[in-house]
């Protein structure tokens, strides 16, 4: 008689572990990262459940271009960059894909002020250190020292490696403006005189030689940063452009604005206003020639991404993604957006509208949208 071994069956605990491993493989198979990377991914494609965190084993090599190239597609969807004390996160709201980076010593204990010109970040460390950082190329450019504790908002006019790049910072009261031009070794300081008001908690926007700010009550002001003019010889400088807040906002009670953002769209300015009580998001287009705002009811096939550090308007790359405003906020791993078609807040996987109270005043300051340019670049370290 042949000796037969009785069949063995996995225990319930082993079956549960096997299913968990298979589910993890299916969730993370879409984005591939080298095993030597310390980059983590928390999601790969839209799904009906919150993403599971996953991290590749740490190895001896420094995580540089391979994982970054896999996550950031040239000319792809804008990515929300968040800088923490000892790590960074990047979030794609269209794919609901997240990347947690634990090995970026260049950004340790830094504060993110602004983003622009693709994937360039403007940051500070401590009280005086100011620098640029390019995400995909991992290039750091040190700027002249500046007391950044008083800088409430900031922006820059183009790629830092371009000859005409200008960096602008402003205090919360908008009285103190600092400007730094490419190649200069020191910041230019100007004190402005204007009606008492405070800047909105969003990045200014540069158009040509002018810089435009959105105030906390919805007014817009602008000045030419190339031609400073002391009108009355009183050591004060004055804004060239002043536009009163949009007519609908004048009916709101004092302090009714919760968040507001400013973005450039085809050489024009768009303002996005979120109120404390108003359930709708209001969008206005600024007519600089007439000095008036026009209500915008549709973005057509455009997507708008808003945050404190930068706001972008781009053409929709995915069917159904247009005519929406994407906020610097996620819910259960899903990006939150406002639809101008439904006039409500949603995520792509929610069957019901979100309540405004779920995220009011829940936007952290160290956020900014970045987008890797479609054209190939060769960014090398350089001196400002």
Query: pLDDT digit string (tens) for 181-207?
Result: 999 999 999 888 766 567 878 999 999
How much is the average pLDDT of 158-185? 93
The residue-averaged pLDDT of 116-145 equals: 95
Q: How far is CA 117 from CA 7, 121, 264, 266, in A?
A: 64, 9, 12, 15
Q: Is the pLDDT of residue 229 over 80?
A: no
pLDDT at 370: 97
> With contact defined as beta carbons under 8 Å apart, do 33 and 41 qualify?
yes
Give the Cα separation of 201 and 190 in Å (integer): 20
Tokens of 187: 């910041």
Residue 355: both structure tokens together: 């309540």
| Tens-place pLDDT, residues 266-322 | 999 999 998 776 667 899 999 999 999 999 999 999 999 999 999 999 999 889 999
CA 312 to chain centre: 8
| Alpha-carbon distances, residue 298 vs 67, 315, 322 (angstroms) | 36, 13, 10
Average confidence (pLDDT) over 16-45: 37
Range scoring the smallest mean pLDDT among 60-69, 199-208, 261-270: 60-69
Contact call for residues 283 and 343 (beta carbons, < 8 A)? no
pLDDT computed for residue 115 by the predictor: 98
Structural domain boundaries in the chain: 69-370
- Residue 230 confidence class, pLDDT cut points 50, 70, 90: low
**By the 8 A CB rule, do 305 and 314 touch?**
yes
Mean pLDDT of 223-247: 75
Instruction: Give residue 146's pLDDT band: very low, low, confident or very high (50, 70, 90).
Output: very high
pLDDT digits (tens, 9 = 90+) for 70-96: 677 888 899 999 999 889 999 999 888
- Residue 2: the pLDDT is 38
Q: Which residues contact 163 (CB under 8 A, 6 or more apart)?
A: 182, 183
What is residue 161's three-state secondary structure? coil
What tokens does 11 get? 């225990």
**Quick one: 191 exposed, middle or buried, by C-beta within 10 A (0-12, 13-18, 19+)?**
exposed
Q: What pLDDT is attached to residue 166? A: 97
The reported pLDDT for the residue numbered 357 is 53
Q: Is residue 191 within 8 Å of 235, Cβ to Cβ?
A: yes
Comparing 1-15, 138-152, 168-182, 329-343, the range with the smallest average pLDDT is 1-15
14-26: burial string, b at 16+ Cβ within 10 Å, e else = eeeeeeeeeeeee
Whole-angstrom CA distances from 316 to 70, 112, 294, 300, 323 are 21, 27, 23, 9, 8
Least confident stretch, 106-115, 181-190, 300-309, 341-350: 341-350
Report pLDDT for 363: 52
The confidence score (pLDDT) of residue 73 equals 80
Q: How far lies 375's CA from each of 137, 228, 293, 369, 371, in Å?
A: 14, 35, 34, 18, 12
Cα–Cα distance list, 147 to 150, 169, 189, 349 (Å) = 7, 11, 12, 44
Which CATH architecture best describes the domain 69-370? Beta Barrel (2.40)
How far the first Cα of the chain sits from its last, in Å, is 86
DSSP strand pairing (54-55 vs 79-83) = unpaired
DSSP SS3 for 94: coil
320 CB-near residues (< 8 Å, 6+ apart): none
pLDDT score recorded for residue 351: 54
């Amino acid at each position: 008689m042949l000796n037969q071994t009785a069949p063995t069956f996995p225990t319930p605990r082993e079956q549960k572990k096997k299913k968990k491993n298979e589910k993890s493989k299916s969730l993370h198979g879409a984005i591939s990262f080298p095993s030597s990377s310390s980059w983590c991914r928390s999601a790969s494609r839209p799904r009906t459940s919150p993403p599971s965190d996953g991290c590749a084993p740490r190895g001896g090599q420094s995580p540089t271009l391979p994982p970054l190239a896999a996550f950031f597609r040239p000319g792809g969807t804008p990515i929300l960059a968040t800088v923490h004390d000892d790590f960074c996160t990047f979030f794609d709201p269209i794919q609901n894909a997240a990347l947690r980076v634990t090995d970026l010593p260049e950004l340790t204990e830094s504060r993110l002020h602004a983003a622009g010109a693709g994937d360039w970040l403007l940051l500070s460390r401590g009280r005086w250190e100011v620098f640029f950082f390019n995400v995909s190329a991992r290039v750091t450019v040190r700027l002249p020292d500046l007391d950044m504790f008083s800088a409430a908002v900031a922006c820059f006019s183009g790629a830092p490696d371009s000859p005409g790049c200008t960096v602008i910072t402003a205090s919360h009261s908008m009285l103190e403006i600092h400007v730094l031009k490419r190649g200069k070794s020191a910041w230019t300081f100007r004190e402005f005189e204007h009606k008492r008001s405070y800047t909105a908690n969003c990045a200014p926007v540069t158009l040509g030689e002018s810089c435009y700010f959105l105030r906390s009550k919805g007014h817009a002001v602008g000045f030419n940063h190339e031609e400073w003019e002391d009108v009355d010889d009183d050591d004060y400088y004055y804004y060239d452009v002043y536009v009163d807040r949009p007519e609908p906002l004048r009916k709101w009670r004092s302090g009714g604005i919760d968040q507001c953002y400013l973005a450039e769209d085809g050489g024009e300015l768009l303002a996005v206003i979120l109120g404390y009580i108003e359930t709708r998001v209001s969008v206005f287009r600024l007519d600089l020639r007439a000095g008036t705002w026009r209500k915008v009811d549709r973005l057509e096939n455009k997507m708008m991404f808003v945050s404190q550090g930068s706001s972008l308007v781009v053409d929709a790359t995915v069917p159904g993604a247009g005519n929406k405003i994407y906020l610097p906020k996620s819910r259960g791993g899903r990006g939150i957006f406002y639809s101008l078609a439904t006039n409500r807040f949603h995520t792509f996987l929610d069957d019901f509208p979100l309540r405004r109270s779920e995220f009011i005043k829940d936007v952290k300051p160290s956020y900014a949208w970045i987008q890797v340019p479609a054209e190939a670049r060769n960014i090398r370290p350089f001196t400002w």
